Every structure is written in C-alpha cells, then in structure tokens.
Amino acid sequence: MAVSALTGVPYVVTSHGTDVFIVERLSFFKPLARAVFRRAKAATVVSRALQDTLSLKLGLLASGIQVLPMPVRLDLFETQATPPAGASAPRSPGRILTVGRLVKRKGFNYLIEACSILRDRGQAVELTILGEGPEASSLRSLAQRLRLGERVRFVPFVPQDALGPFYRDCDVFVLPSITVDHREREGLGLVLLEAMACGRPVIGTASGGIVDVVVDGHTGLIVPERDSQALAAAIERLLRDASLAGSLARQGYDYVRANFGLPVIAGRTKALYQDVLRRSG
C-alpha cells in the first residue's frame, strides 16, 4: 500500500485464508488490513466462504471481492494410464487417503475414529495419512488406543509433484476439516481438487471453501463437521457402491478441468490485472 502511494502503481490483494484468520485473532491488525483492502484496486480470495468472512470481518462489500481459486496442476495428476473414473473394482480392504498438515483444523482424529467404526461394522479399510505437523503424536496415540494397528499408516511430507501415485492408489479421498478457534476453517481444500484430477471419489466436510470444491452428490459427498459416524457412513457408501463412486469421480474430474485448471485460472487472473491497469489509466 505504501509503495503504491509513493509510485502511483496500483496493487491487488490476494488472500488464501490464513492471513484473514490471523487478522481475526489479532484485532489490532484490523485497521491496517481494512486500509490495505480498501485502497487496493482489486481484491481476490480463493473461495466464497472466505469472501463472506473478509466482507464481514473488515466491513468490505462482498461484491468488490472476486473469488479466484488456486489452480490445479493437471499435468502433475492426469495420466493416460489412469482413466478419470475411479472405476476400478472395489478392493478389500478399501484404501482411504487424506493429505495435509497434521493440525487440529484438518480434523484427522474424526477420520481415524470413522475407520474404527467401519472396522467394528466389519468393513475392512486401510487409512493413509500423508503429512507432518504438531498433532502427529496425538493422532498416532489415538490410532493405537482404538486398536487400529497397521490399518492406519502415517507417511511423512511428500512434495506435490510426487503425490499423484498416492492419490491414484486410493479408493476414496477424504478431507475431514473442521472450524477451530476464532472461526478458522479450510480456505479451499486444494488436495480435494488434486484427488479429483486423479479420478478419485472424494468426501469433504461442510467447512469453509470445501463446499466450493465438493458439490454434494455431484462431485463428491459432503458430511457435517466433527461427525465420525457420518464420515464412516459416507466412506462405506462409496466403498460398497462402485457405480456411485465412479459417477462422482467422473463428474469431479470434469469439474476440476472446467473450473480449476491452470489455463482457466491464469486466464481469469490475467483478465483481472488487465482490468485494473485499464481502470488506472
């Protein structure tokens, strides 16, 4: 903002979520954040939920904030050897995957509990949790207390360009995010889009920007936050109904290509900056 004022060059503000929640926790930053956004020639966020949060917390007009999500590198996840259908025959045990930092906001404890529920129902599953973070010890302890043994596998951080094989090897991808202190929630859920680009059926919670990615019953399934029983039911439904899993996977794949591919988002971003330059004379 200061550089723009000194040089006369317009600026655009982009928010991915964590920055907004930091401002929300540390209220003394709000006046500065409000000034930065109001003097910007344009503002973008990665989801409608974040658009609403920004508008509410900083007193901005939602109509002045454009939703411009992060793109998916389709070239990293699409392969000719893997049809975008999730149509392989159901396996036993069913393979469940989740990816993300091991923090409370991701809600991985509810997914572990869901696997315990499925085991007690006689549904064989294996869960892979891919990521690192401060909740690692707590999550491992939970899996041990629930006597899940080797049914839960923890894999350290994997770079994005090496994630494809993990996605393609799962039967169902789950992101069980929750809303935590100060209303912090999922900004978008990029890993869901990556899984969909690999032709996998997905399950997400009704948390933040996830509902922009997972259209319930069309591109995946949505369950309530903090509900292990609902998670277990949704997983079991996809593992038992190959037709539904394949349909959601195909529609999810098409949805990602049409709305989140790099060429699509790059084109929208270019148009935004061209408009800012044109209006700035």
pTM for the full predicted model: 0.89
Residues 67 and 94 placed together within one structural domain of the fold:
no
Provide the domain limits for residue 22.
2-71+261-280
Q: What is the CATH number of the domain that holds 198?
A: 3.40.50.2000
**Mean per-residue pLDDT, 143-167:** 94
**Mean per-residue pLDDT, 190-199:** 95
- In total, how many domains does the chain have? 2
Residues 151 and 205 placed together within one structural domain of the fold:
yes
Helix (H) or strand (E) segment spanning residue 104 = none
Report residue 87's pLDDT band, with 50, 70 and 90 as the boundaries: very low
Which pLDDT does position 92 carry in this prediction? 80
Strand partners, 13: 43
**Mean per-residue pLDDT, 101-117:** 97
Per-residue pLDDT tens digits for 227-279: 999 999 999 999 999 999 999 999 999 999 999 999 999 999 999 999 999 99
Per-residue pLDDT tens digits for 18-76: 777 677 667 777 888 888 988 999 999 999 988 888 887 777 777 789 999 999 988 88
Higher-pLDDT residue of 214, 32: 214
Residues 186 and 267 placed together within one structural domain of the fold:
no
Residues 248 and 124 placed together within one structural domain of the fold:
yes
Query: Is 133:98 a contact under the CB 8 Å cutoff?
Result: no
Report residue 135's pLDDT band, with 50, 70 and 90 as the boundaries: very high
How far, rounded to the nearest angstrom, does the alpha carbon of residue 163 sit from its chain's CA centroid? 15
Cis before 165 (ω within 30)? no
83 pLDDT above the threshold of 90? no
Residues 126 and 233 placed together within one structural domain of the fold:
yes
Residues 249 and 142 placed together within one structural domain of the fold:
yes
Residues 103 and 145 placed together within one structural domain of the fold:
yes
Residue type, 146: L
Residues 48 and 88 placed together within one structural domain of the fold:
no
Residue written as tokens 């609403």?
52
Query: Is 212:218 a contact under the CB 8 Å cutoff?
Result: no
**Mean per-residue pLDDT, 93-107:** 96
